[in-house]
Amino acid sequence: MEKPLKGVRVLDLTQAYSGPFCTMNLADHGAEVIKIERPGIGDQTRAWGPLVNGESGYFAYINRNKKGITLDLKHEEGKRIFRDLIKTADVVVENYKVGVMEKLGFRYEEMKKINPGIIYGSISGFGLEGPLAERPCYDIVAQAMSGMMSVTGFSDGPPCKIGPSVGDSYSGAYLCMGILMALYQRSRTGEGQRLDVAMVDTLFSTMENFVVEHTIEGKHPHRAGNMDPSIAPFDSFRAKDGDFVMGCGTNKMFAGLCKLMDREDLIDNPLYNTNVNRVENYHSGLKDLIEEWTTTKTIDELEEMITAIKIPFGNILTIPEVVNHPQTEVRKMLLEVDQPKMGVIKMPGTPIKHHGKPDEIEKAAPLLGEDNDDILKNLLGYGQDKIEALRAAQII
């Protein structure tokens, strides 16, 4: 069965993580994504580990299901080839520093002249306007300047970055969503669209209750470890043989936990009888009361008891444990691909499951310039002599 984005062609000028994550999601669901890289150099992640025979597992994961060509966009002939490609495309995606595409001569207005229906999406650190627009950005900068680091970590420790690059993945997902919206609108109006997603905006938008606590109540949100600042008990807890997490989001869940603990007196205790009261009195007593009970039992014992009464519970798994977990296998969240020069490798699958459609990686990430001849010959109609001349001039 065909994937939902079959027939959509994307020109992918992105590198590193945020942009390639966006286009990977489009490719995973059927779009023809043509990744365009600098001749002889390519995406910076081609040098990022883990490396096998000089090929990057990082690059392989984030650029699967894509075709790949090389093109020098600073050369006039390279620009002409890119204009030819724009004529055939539905979407152009880039995450260059703000202003680079304009300097190359590819403002949205110029692309629109070439292809009126083109959808042009950008990811940048700070957006296309504002006093910080031209600054370069990586995820750690976005986490710092969105307020995220200020509320991550423990109260007696320094601000802390979240482990994975959430600024990249969230902004990539937002741009992917924006592209899908634009494709839908174009199907009704015939009009293309300019899309602008900033990493700092993205993380600021995901700050959940922290921002409105400040704007509505004047609070100054702070680091609180694994505790949720608005729900209690909702945290990591000690067991006899390690740590686990659970969250009681309702009075009913809290009452169930109290019964398990043989502390039904806590249910109507004015310190804990509402969620607001539990949050206010969590560190002054409630967490200690819970851990007096949890530290008498193993994680396996607690898991059986707590999940039986429908309270969300989780083991704190290591990466090897997640990789080998039966839930990961059943959900096909770890897929194999035969990556050229690397052999068969495993990588995360897509979390979007279209029932009845294939859930597999159809194509390994491209070697640098792997599809030059195919695309120039079969898509643009260039002859082999011309292709060889472009290669000799290092335009491709």
Q: Which residues are catalytic?
A: 168
- Give 239's strand partners: 242
State how far the alpha carbon of 392 is from the alpha carbons of 40, 198, 371, 373, in Å.
12, 38, 16, 13
Burial class (CB within 10 angstroms; exposed 0-12, middle 13-18, buried 19+) of 62:
buried
Amino acid at 86: I
Residue 334 parent element (H or E):
strand 334-339
Which is nearest to 141 in space by CA: 226, 202, 184, 213? 202
Which contacts of 72-81 are long-range, i.e. CB under 8 A and separated by 24 or more positions? 72/38, 72/39, 72/394, 72/395, 72/396, 73/36, 73/104, 73/106, 74/104, 75/393, 75/395, 77/390, 77/393, 77/395, 78/395, 78/396, 79/104, 79/105, 79/106, 81/376, 81/380, 81/390, 81/395, 81/396
Burial class (CB within 10 angstroms; exposed 0-12, middle 13-18, buried 19+) of 106:
buried
